[in-house]
Structure 1
């Protein structure tokens, strides 16, 4: 299922895996490249598991349309409620070491489905993106199939396929 309104897009998938196992995969930055449906996420710079809101984890990225091709993002954990929800803001680290966030977030919500299954909802939200960024970036910056692709990859990972 795919829903889209003005300021966010989401997709859902049900897997026959308990939520704590799904959450553990999402909380491990080393799995994010395998989950990503765009192929932009390359390698985690920070490999420590995500354990608290406010934690920063950086990722090496590649995008053919990016001015540098290879670039790095700094993500800030916004919600971390195991095994129910995990989400982060994506931004960049400036030359002085300060972080700047664009206002878009990624969030996974996990709900029980049957005795050992999990209903996963992935939401990309850009409602907090300021106008000046919207003038040069189109939202969402990926095709409609991206969230479903990511959930499919996540499902394969957690199912051990």
Structure 2
């Protein structure tokens, strides 16, 4: 089930795994390339588990529409409520000096148990805080609606395998 608002898109899926297991997969940056539904996430630069709000974790990315194809994002955890919610803002380090800039969008997963070995997971991509200057060069959302469903499908496979 997809829900599209003017400023966000979300989808929900029931996953056959305990909610704690699903959360553990999401809190592990090494799983993110396998979860990604677009194929843009290549590999984690920072591999430490996500354990606190404000934590930064970087990912190597590839998108043929990007200036050089390969690029890196820096994600900042802004929601961490195990095992109910996890989310992060996506940004970058434009000057390579450690000063991060964020574009005003975030990813968020909300999890709820639906039985001892099932979890209802809602994935939301929200760009409501993206300033006009960013909206002038990025189209939101930058992917089709199938991306969220693909991501939850991949997450379900990873969680079931644990």
Mark yes or no: TM-score above 0.5. yes
Asked whether 1:24 is paired with 2:24, we answer yes
Distance in 2 separating the partners of 1:144 and 1:109:
18
State the partner residue of 1:63. 63
Cα deviation for residue 144 of structure 1 reads 1.2
Cα deviation for residue 97 of structure 1 reads 1.5
Matches within 5 A, 1:123-142: 123-142=124-143
CA RMSD of aligned residues (A): 0.9
State the partner residue of 2:147. 146
Cα deviation for residue 93 of structure 1 reads 1.2
Q: Which structure 1 residue ranges, 5 or more long, are not aligned?
A: none
State the partner residue of 1:102. 103
What SS does the corresponding residue of 2:148 show, helix, strand or coil?
Answer: helix
Distance in 1 separating the partners of 2:140 and 2:94:
23
State the partner residue of 2:90. 90
Q: What are the superposed Cα offsets for residues 82-135 of structure 1, whole Å, 9 maximum, x if unpaired?
A: 000000000001322200000100000000102321000000000000011101
What SS does the corresponding residue of 2:67 show, helix, strand or coil?
Answer: coil
Q: What are the superposed Cα offsets for residues 69-93 of structure 1, whole Å, 9 maximum, x if unpaired?
A: 0000000000000000000000001
Cα deviation for residue 145 of structure 1 reads 0.5
Distance in 2 separating the partners of 1:16 and 1:152:
11
Tell me the matched-pair count.
Answer: 161
State the partner residue of 1:111. 112
State the partner residue of 1:37. 37
Distance in 1 separating the partners of 2:159 and 2:21:
7
Q: What are the superposed Cα offsets for residues 21-50 of structure 1, whole Å, 9 maximum, x if unpaired?
A: 000000000000000000000000000000
Q: Which structure 2 residue ranges, 5 or more long, are not aligned?
A: none
Distance in 2 separating the partners of 1:92 and 1:45:
13
